[in-house]
Structure 1
Amino acid sequence: MMIIDEPFAAPELIEYLACTQEPVLLNSMAERILKRHSIKALGDEEFAARVNAGGRLICTSENAFSWIAQHIEDEAVTEAIATFKDKARMRKLLAPMYPSLEYREIPTAQLKEVCFEDFSTPFVLKPNVGYCSVGVYVVESRQQWDAALADIDENMAVWRSRYAKSALDEGSFVAESYLEGTEFAVDAFLDNNGEAVVLDVLRHEFANAADTSDRCYVTGASVVREYAPAFASWLTEVNGLVGVKDFPVHVEARMSNGVITPIEFNPLRFAGICGTEVAYHAYGFHTYDYFLHDIRPNWNELLKGKEGKLYCMGYLPAPEKLAAGECGFDYDGFLSHFEGLQAFYRFDPRQTGALGFIFLETKENDETERAFLREADLTQFCVGI
């Protein structure tokens, strides 16, 4: 069972749904797809009945959470969403694993009343219920704190217009310790026994220490072999405190000296919008198919022929003038920098604030294209200014 929702459904996903006839919810996104593709779409009542009867469910977007809250009676699903989505609640739940981790939940209306000197720097400020890297700030100084508060004031209305409240709720923020180490994103599910099955591991690469963008995630044989077992063991331990079963989750965490510390848990979905398709481009399988049918990856087979390669996924923010409709963008010029381009899905910058999603195959021993993806000033491709 799948809910496909705004803002985007990847061609690979649509092809999968047409070939397998996996049931989807008949919403506005499904209706648009039905005009060109034969997929199996069920109305609210039948779809909800199947989920409430124990059918596995996954979403492509957290915009679906509002529908779930209104139609799904299975408390195992709704309570798992509420728990994983609430960062402060998860910090409290996992306190036995991380007794020294500092965090504080602050109502948005009280942010300007908070005494900056009460915090140990550096720290991270982010929405308690958030999506992607929207509203995330690394704060090392009073100047950066003031800049973060000003940015929140300036962009709050834009966030509200782009994201459902169930995906991004700006009612409160969390200030917590800045986590050292390498950042990872993991697509996984908890099986019928509550044990974790890892479907992909992505190393999140940044342009610099202040970068919080989603421009470059990297997976490959070396990444999966080194880190998948550790994340499976860790997530199983986490679930010993949470207690969910038959449930997909996209986890962001940092690892330092072998110790994994969570950043956030994103329930009932994998890498956002269409990011999870990196597993298909890299290894040839659909993560959502493996979850829905309880399939464990045979990494020994899947990683054959993948040595020496790294596969990248990036969500590219639109330059401000492009998002405001004040210029165009030289897409061909930008994409010409990548020899191993696998796919680029173009979004409407004015509606989404993004250029789109990019998928690349790169050589592990050549950093050039990955560095460009992380660090390039995208305004150089703006045209018609």
Structure 2
Amino acid sequence: MVILDEPFVSEEVKVFLEQSQVPVLDNAFAARAGDGYRFNRVDEAAFSARMAASGETLRLLTVSENSLEWVMRHSRDTAMKDAIALMKDKAAFRRRLAPLYPDFFFREVALDALDSVDPASLPFPCVLKPATGFFSIGVHIVASPQEWHAAVDAIRKQAGQWRKAYPESVVGSTVCIIEEYIEGDEYAIDACYDETGHAVILNIFRHEFASQDDVRDRLYYTSVAVIREHLADFSQWLDAVNRYCGAKRFPVHVEVRIAHDGTIVPVEFNPLRFAGWCCTDLSWFAWGFRTYEYFLNGQKPDWDRILKDRDGRLYTLIVLDKPAGLQVPYRFDDNRLCAVFGKVLHFRNLSRNPHYPVFGFLFTETPENDRGELDAIVKSDLTEFLVPA
């Protein structure tokens, strides 16, 4: 069963829903998104009844965390609701996993009380961010005590902006957490917990940054090397985490860092969905299978078969986030953008919607030994692709 909601659903998901006839909650967004498609739309009462009747076999997936509030109101699955609430509250999640990370520093502070925090009591560098969050919104890496008050001022200003763009259930606006900065490589994982609570990994993305203080979601890639190097360790780690969460038949999008000593440390768990804005479609463009189809059907990837003869290539997801403060009339030149890359797999152009924080998403295939185009795009502010309107 699937719930569609703002801000976006991809054409790839729409095609799957039409072909599979998976039950879709008949809300206003599904009606708009499904215009021209034959979704198996089920009204709210019947959808809720199916959720209750499915019991131990229920597999529920959302494409947006905007739907979590509806799920919490209508689901009778206490274990699922407990897992959602835990994962959405980063401070509560840190407390629950404390036995795995006894020396990890974090502190929960009300937004209005940040001025009372003594920077001398904090480990630097540290991270300041909302206790609930999405899309790296409001995340600040603070390198020194001198930068602390500037970061506090910035997150307060941003709070008003994210309140307008996302509901409170998606991006909290009143509570922040301060935690130690984890040195190491960052990865994103699309996975699910099966009916026994064991992890099934559906894709692994490496998150590349332009610099140490960069927090943007600009560039992710997957490859044979990425999957083979981390599949076993991430699977075991996700199983260890779930001993404290108890999730079953449960999709998650997870962000982690691997510290220099090899310790896997969670950045965040995003419940009941895969990569946001349907960016989980990277598995379709890279590996030829849909994460959501595998989850809903209880399938597990045969990675040995999938990865065969795919060495030497990076399959990328490029998030084309809009420059801050962009106000002048413009047109995004997608032809100029695509010409920069040797092999474009798909361009998801969202630049015509002024309310979206992104111009779109680009999926490419890049030789592993020739990353010049990726090194350039991760540092770009994208203004070279803007044409005056």
Per the alignment, residue 203 of structure 1 pairs with 206
Name the counterpart of 1:308.
Answer: 312
Q: Aligned residue for 2:375?
A: 371
Deviations 1:69-112 (A, max 9, x none): 22222212211100111111111111111000000001011112
Mapping of residues 242-281 of structure 1, within 5 Å: 242-256=245-259, 257-281=261-285
Alpha carbons 1:343, 1:358 under 8 Å: kept: yes
| Mapped partners of 1:150, 1:379: distance in 2 | 27
- The residue type paired with residue 145 of structure 2 is R
Bigger shift: residues 332-341 or 218-227: 332-341
CA distance in 1, matches of 2:109, 2:24: 38
CA contact (8 A) 1:44 1:71 kept: no
What amino acid is aligned across from residue 296 of structure 2 in structure 1?
L
Partner Cα separation in structure 2 for residue 143 and residue 61 of structure 1: 37
Instruction: Decide whether the 8 Å contact of 2:316 with 2:363 is kept in 1.
Output: yes
* CA positional deviation for 1:349: 5.6
Q: Does 1:113 align with 2:125?
A: no
What are the residue-to-residue correspondences of 1:223-372 with 2, within 5 Å? Answer: 223-256=226-259, 257-322=261-326, 324=327, 326-347=329-350, 348=352, 350-372=354-376
Aligned partner (choices 185, 190, 199) of residue 187 of structure 1: 190
Q: Is the 8 A contact 1:318 1:349 kept in 2?
A: no
CA distance in 1, matches of 2:208, 2:7: 25
- Specify the SS of the correspondent of 2:234: helix
CA distance in 2, matches of 1:321, 1:137: 18
Specify the code of the residue in structure 1 equivalent to 2:224. A
Residue 293 of structure 1 aligns with an amino acid whose one-letter code is: N
Alignment partners' CA distance in 1, 2:244 and 2:34? 41
Residue 25 of structure 1 pairs with residue 29 of structure 2 = no
The separation in 2 between residues aligned to 1:278 and 1:47, in whole angstroms, is 29
Structure 1 position 331, deviation (Å): 2.6
Measured in 1, the distance between the counterparts of 2:34 and 2:62 equals 18
1:12 aligns to what? 12
Paired with 1:4 and 1:34, the residues of 2 have a C-alpha distance of 10
**For residues 208 and 284 of structure 1, what CA distance do their matches in structure 2 show?**
32
| Structure-2 residue corresponding to 1:122 | 125
**Residues 191-236 of structure 1, C-alpha deviations (whole Å, 9 max, x = no match):** 1111111111111110000110111011011110110111000000
CA contact (8 A) 2:193 2:250 kept: yes
Match of 2:62 among 46, 59, 63: 59
The whole-number CA distance in structure 2 between the counterparts of 1:197 and 1:169 is 29
Which residue identity does 1:338 align to in structure 2?
Answer: F
Name the stretch that deviates more: 136-145 or 117-126.
136-145
CA distance in 2, matches of 1:86, 1:375: 31
- Percent identity over paired residues: 41
Contact between 2:206 and 2:222, CA under 8 Å: does it hold in 1? Answer: yes
Structure 1 counterpart of 2:101, one-letter code: Y
Tell me the distance in 2 between the aligned counterparts of 1:285 and 1:327.
Answer: 36
- Cα RMSD of the aligned pairs, angstroms, is 1.5
1:261-300, Cα deviation, whole Å (9 max, x unpaired): 1111110011111110000100010101111111110001
Deviations 1:43-71 (A, max 9, x none): 11111122223221011000001211222
Distance 1:48 1:18 in 2: 21
Structure 1 position 46 matched with structure 2 position 35: no
**Cα distance in 2 for residues equivalent to 1:191 and 1:35:** 33
SS in 2 for 1:8: coil
Please report the TM-score for the alignment, with normalisation by the length of structure 2. 0.95
Assess if the C-alpha contact under 8 Å between 1:26 and 1:44 holds in 2.
yes
Report deviation, 1:125. 0.7
Matched with 2:96 is 93
Q: Report the secondary structure of 1:242's partner residue.
A: coil
Q: Equivalents in 2 of 1:268, 1:78: separation in Å?
A: 10
Residue 23 of structure 1 aligns with an amino acid whose one-letter code is P
Point out the more displaced range, 267-276 or 33-42.
Answer: 33-42
Query: Is 2:171 the partner of 1:164?
Result: no
The 2-side partners of 1:80 and 1:252 are apart by 16
- Cα shift at 1:244: 1.4
Q: 1:149 to 1:350 in 2, by over 3 A?
A: farther
Residues 1:80 and 2:113 aligned together: no
Cα 1:168–1:351 shift into 2, 3 Å: same
TM-score (norm 1): 0.96
Kindly indicate whether residue 156 of structure 2 is the aligned counterpart of residue 176 of structure 1. Answer: no
**For 2:134 and 2:237, how far apart are their aligned partners in 1?**
23
Q: Provide structure 1 residue ranges, at least 5 long, that are not aligned to the other structure.
A: none
Q: Return the letter of the residue paired with 1:209.
A: Q
Q: Distance in 1 between matches of 2:330 and 2:152?
A: 28
The residue type equivalent to 1:198 in the other structure is I
Alpha carbons 1:279, 1:286 under 8 Å: kept: yes
Deviation at 1:28, TM superposition (A): 1.8
CA distance in 1, matches of 2:330, 2:120: 42
